[in-house]
Amino acid sequence: MNTNEQHMSGHVVIGVDTHKHVHVAAVMDTIGGILATLTIPTDTGGFQQLLDWATSFGKVLAFGVEGTGSYGATLASFLRRAGHKVVEAGRPDRRLRRMNGKSDTLDAENAARAVLAGFATAIPKTADGGAEMIRRLKIAHDQAVEQRAAAPPPRASRPPRCTGCSTTRTGSWPSWPPTGSRSTWPRNAKRWL
């Protein structure tokens, strides 16, 4: 009669440790037991997989996501749009990290524990509104300035080619040296020698 089904309330908390290419999630029941962990890619398909996986354990009370301002921003936005409560789960205390060790799974479990214990209560930014639009415009402007500075300078324009140079080969220009100065060249050369 002492089975897990008796103790499970049907409510769970999800902790997520975010990274650039993968996110690691841990599901915890309301009495603090880790039920399972999952690693997902950081794309919409992975986010949907996480959501389906989390709801398969029962009613999700909240998602505790680390780094909702950086790598976890798109996940937090996706979960919020799906109607779930998202809480910023900060990094655990360094002393606790040293005692318990460091791994992605442990970080996800610690995020879920922080939400369950009530330590993680910060609501992440919604990433919409006037301030967010201005921030995105500033980011686009800064990137354009960086790209322009990194681009090579434009090539100096060459002077136009002499169109008369090609006509000398055809014979339409007089021969060189001009006939009037033929006699002066040998004289000047003798003077200098």
Q: Note the pLDDT tens digit of each residue in 14-65.
A: 999 988 899 999 999 888 888 999 999 989 999 999 999 999 998 999 999 9
Question: Tell me, what's the pLDDT at 94?
Answer: 66
Is 51 part of a structural domain of the chain?
Answer: yes
Judge whether 110 and 96 are in contact, CB under 8 Å.
Answer: yes
Helix (H, G, I), strand (E, B) or coil at 25: strand
Is 190 part of a structural domain of the chain?
Answer: no
Is 169 part of a structural domain of the chain?
Answer: no
Is 140 part of a structural domain of the chain?
Answer: no
Is 19 part of a structural domain of the chain?
Answer: yes
**Binning pLDDT at 50, 70 and 90, where does residue 193 land?**
low
Is 70 part of a structural domain of the chain?
Answer: yes
Residues spanned by the domain of 121: 8-129
CATH number (domain holding residue 61): 3.30.420.40
Helix 44-55 / helix 73-81 crossing angle, nearest 10 deg: 50
62: nearest Cα among 128, 22, 24, 118: 118
Question: Tell me, what's the pLDDT at 112?
Answer: 84
Least confident of 20-29, 79-88, 99-108: 99-108
Residue by residue, DSSP assigns 59-97 as EEEEEEES-TTTTTHHHHHHHHHTT--EEE-PPPPHHHH
What is the number of domains present in the chain?
1
* 39 alpha carbon, distance to own chain's centre: 19
57: nearest Cα among 5, 4, 11, 25: 11
**Residues of the chain above pLDDT 70, percent:** 67
Is 101 part of a structural domain of the chain?
Answer: yes
Is 192 part of a structural domain of the chain?
Answer: no
62: nearest Cα among 78, 84, 80, 36: 84
